[in-house]
Amino acid sequence: MSQKRVCAALQAAEGAYLSGEELSRSIGITRAAVWKAVEALRRQGYDIEARTGRGYRLRQSPDLLRRETVEAYLSAPRADWEVLESVDSTNSACRRLALEGAEDGTVVMADCQTAGRGRRNRSFQSPAGRGLFLSILWRPGCTPDKLLPLTALSAVAVYRAVERVCGVNLRIKWPNDLVLNGKKLGGILTEMALEGESGLVSHAVVGIGINVHHLPSDFEGQVRDIATSLDMELDGRVCRGKLAAALLEELDYLRGEVLFAPEKWLEPYRTACLNIGQTVQLIRGETWERVEAVAVDGQFGLVVRHENGELETVRSGEVSVRGLYGYAE
């Protein structure tokens, strides 16, 4: 309670100093309690300066990802979404909700994932306060082939949301990597469950991870050399609530208008796809092959030319594509 009131008073002061004395008097707590509240706020990410003789000053509030900080940017109210402080994986949480009968379009986002997952059984680093980790549940009641473009279409939804909020154009590394200035900004993991008898998709979960406030020191292991964040690439801090709201709206547009007319987003995908015209490594299990990526076909598959001149279209599940000289090139 004192924390909230100290925070509100510092915010209302708009960066000016408030003495411990003033704070303790206006809130009706001791100066020691003011200090305790300041310490607690600092632990939550508030940047509060303390200066002898002047008092306390709020330099920067943390970019909290909470239901209210997202709602503030939504142009219309939306049902069936939640923001969790921490979860194992938003994809797993969304799947659990699906099994309990959750509605088409249900969204789970989280400030932090303790077991975030990427493609090919990799982990996806998801520290608190840094990224946007979001999964959306689809119940399209169709056969799986109709959902082949789902990952690619979701990449365009992210592209559009980032363009709206940050004014920059991402590139997409086929099929699911979100790339900014040649580095990985995030990725998409789509998982599906089929109904045994009908062969229809009982549910699909599309999980999107975007690095927003990550610092270079937040990336561990192999991703350190290839990953980046919006803060690292852009001037100024991006508001996660604003980005989350834009992404929710783009995903809803995809759900309502584009999914069954995927050609609407074929050209944007082709334009953003950075592999076209490049020599890439095609990785199938343990086998690596050098091929030329020549086009994206009507189902968002990658058309490649083998060294013997033969053309083949590869689909997202079977292969991984790497640049020849690094992550993207």
Residues forming the site for ligand BTN (CB under 6 A)? 89-91, 113, 116-119, 122, 124, 133-135, 187-189, 207-209
Round the CA-based radius of gyration of the chain to a whole number and report it.
23
- Of residues 209 and 301, the one with the C-beta less far from ligand BTN: 209
Provide, rounded to whole angstroms, the least separation between the CB of residue 124 and ligand BTN.
4
Provide, rounded to whole angstroms, the least separation between the CB of residue 126 and ligand BTN.
6
CB atoms within 10 A of CB 314: 20
**Cβ proximity of 304 and 292 under 8 Å:** yes
Rounded alpha-carbon distances, angstroms, from residue 155 to 27, 63, 169, 206, 243: 48, 24, 12, 10, 14
- Of residues 160 and 173, the one with the C-beta less far from ligand BTN: 173
- Of residues 134 and 328, the one with the C-beta less far from ligand BTN: 134
Provide, rounded to whole angstroms, the least separation between the CB of residue 140 and ligand BTN.
19
- Of residues 27 and 328, the one with the C-beta less far from ligand BTN: 328
- Of residues 15 and 317, the one with the C-beta less far from ligand BTN: 317
Provide, rounded to whole angstroms, the least separation between the CB of residue 157 and ligand BTN.
14
**Separation of alpha carbons 162 and 247, rounded Å:** 8
Q: Tell which residue, 250, 92, 224, has the closest CA to residue 170.
A: 250
Nearest-10 Cα torsion for 35, 40, 41, 47: 80
201-211 and 183-194: which strand pairing? antiparallel
- Of residues 116 and 262, the one with the C-beta less far from ligand BTN: 116
Q: Tell which residue, 302, 312, 297, 294, has the closest CA to residue 263.
A: 297
Provide, rounded to whole angstroms, the least separation between the CB of residue 135 and ligand BTN.
5
- Of residues 55 and 187, the one with the C-beta less far from ligand BTN: 187
Name the residue number minimizing CB distance to ligand BTN.
187
- Of residues 105 and 187, the one with the C-beta less far from ligand BTN: 187
What are the E-state strand segments in the chain?
A: 47-51, 55-60, 81-84, 107-110, 131-138, 171-173, 177-180, 183-194, 201-211, 279-284, 287-296, 302-305, 311-314, 320-323
Backbone angles phi, psi at 162, to 5 degrees: -65, -40
Provide, rounded to whole angstroms, the least separation between the CB of residue 43 and ligand BTN.
25
**CB-count exposure of residue 53 (10 Å: 0-12, 13-18, 19+):** exposed
Provide, rounded to whole angstroms, the least separation between the CB of residue 153 and ligand BTN.
15
Provide, rounded to whole angstroms, the least separation between the CB of residue 109 and ligand BTN.
8
**Token couple for 141:** 């009641």
For the chain, the first-to-last Cα distance in angstroms comes to 53
